[in-house]
Amino acid sequence: MKPGKSSARIEGRGERAAATRPYLTDIRVYMDSHYHEQLTVRQLAERVHVSPKYFVDLFKKTFGQSAMDYLTDLRINRAKRYLSEPEPLLLREIAQRVGYKDEYYFSRKFKKEVGMSPTEFARSSKHRIAAWSPDMTGYLIALGLTPLAAPLDPKWTAHYYYSYRKKIRYALKLTDPYVTGTFEENADLMARLRPDAVVAGDGLSDEQQDTIGKIAPALFVPTSRELGWREYLRLIAVFLKRTDEAEQWIRGYDKLADEARIQSEAALGDDGILIVRLYGKGLYSYSNRGMEDVLFKDLNLRQVSSGKQSAPIRPEDIRALDPSRILVLVCPESESRAYWLALQHSPEWKTIGAVRSGSIYPISADPWLEYSPVAVARMLDEAMLLFTGKCPNAFLDHVHGGSLPADL
C-alpha cells in the first residue's frame, strides 16, 4: 500500500472516531431510556451510521465496557429495583419491563450477573449496601449493617475510620462538610462494585441522583426536611427491610437516654448550657439538630443562647449571658486549633464565670457535627462523661446484644 493512501486512511479513521464519540454519549442516553426494548448492536450502530464492528470497538474504547454489557447492567439494576419493592411484581412482569422476553431467560441472566436468583434476591435482606455520606454510615450501623463502601477519613470521620475501616471494604472520598471530594470518582467506584443498594442524603443534584440510581436501587433520605433521626432511620429501615432492627435501636436509645436524664439532672440541676463554635479566628454562637436532640430534649438541660444562630460572639457577650457551662466546638484544622490555644490565654476569656469555675468543655466535630443514630448515641455518651464523669460507652453492645454490626 502506498504511504499516501495509508496516511489518508488513518487520518480519515481518526476523523470518523472523533465525530462519532459525541454521538456515543447520545446512544448511551438512548439506551438508558429504551433498555426495555429488544436492542441490538446493529440497531445501535445504525443510529450513528457506522458498521456494527466499528461501533462495538469504539463503544468499549470510549466507555470501558461493551454496549451489551452496559445494556445488561441497566436491565439488572432496574430489575433489582422492582425486586426490592415491598410487594414485588411477578417475575414474568419484571422480565418484560426490563427487556427480556420470558422469566426463565431473565432468571438465568440475573443469577449469572448477581450470583443469586431473582427470588432469592427478593427474599433476602439487602446486604451489599453503600453509604454515600458519613451520616448514612451511622444509619446503616444502627440497623446492624456495615456498609460495603462509605466515606472514610482519619481526620473527619475518625470514629468510622478507626472502628470500621477493616470492615468497610471500600473507602469513598469525602465530599462534605469541609473536604472537597470527587463525585465522579465515587460514582465510578460504585459502578464497579455494583452494590445491592445505595443510601444517600437528598443534598445531591438531580443529575447526581440519576447517576447513582443507574448504579443500584437508591434511597435519597430527605435530610433537608426537619425530621428527627428516628423518622429517617425508619424510612431507611423500610427500604432495607429491617424495621425490627430500627425499632430495637430506638427502644435501646430511649431507655439509655431516660437513665442519662435522671443522672444529668441530678448532677447539673438548673445549670445553663451555652454552645459556641470556634472556626478559623472567630467565635460563633452555635447549635444543631443533634445537639438540641441530645442536650435539650433527651437530657432536658437548660439552653443559654444569644438568640442569633451562627452569629459572631465575643467573650464579653458570653460573660453577659453568664452560662454555667460552655461547650466549645473546635474545628479540627490548624488555624482553629491555634486560635483556641490563644483564646484560652486571653484576659477577656479568663473573665467569663464558667471559665473561672473550670466548666469549659471542648468538643470535636466528630460526632457533634453529624446527625445520625450512631452520632447521637455517641453524643449522649460524651455528654454524660463531660457532665457526670460517667460514660455508658456501650450503646452498640446494649442494642445489638454485644456484637458489632454484621460484616457485609
Please tell me the least confidently modeled range out of 113-117, 177-181, 329-333.
177-181
Mean pLDDT of the chain: 85
pLDDT digit string (tens) for 203-245?
888 999 999 999 999 999 998 888 999 999 999 999 998 898 9
Average pLDDT over residues 318-346: 93
Per-residue confidence (pLDDT) for residue 87, from 0 to 100: 67
Residue with cell 484576659: 347
DSSP string spanning 270-297? T-EEEEEEEETTEEEE---HHHIIIIII
Most confident of the ranges 59-73, 175-189, 283-297, 385-399: 283-297
* Tens-place pLDDT, residues 55-98: 999 998 888 889 999 999 899 988 887 887 756 789 999 999 99
Global model pTM greater than 0.85: no
- Nearby residues of 4 by Cβ (< 8 Å), 6 or more positions away: none
Residue 404 has pLDDT above 80, yes or no: no
Q: Is 385 exposed, middle or buried (0-12, 13-18, 19+ CB in 10 A)?
A: middle
Mean pLDDT of 329-343: 90
Please classify residue 345 by burial: count the beta carbons closer than 10 Å to its beta carbon, then call 0-12 exposed, 13-18 middle and 19+ buried.
exposed
**Are 384 and 258 contacting, i.e. CB atoms less than 8 angstroms apart?**
no
Q: How confident is the model at residue 126 (pLDDT cuts 50, 70, 90)?
A: low
pLDDT exceeds cutoff 70 at 179? no
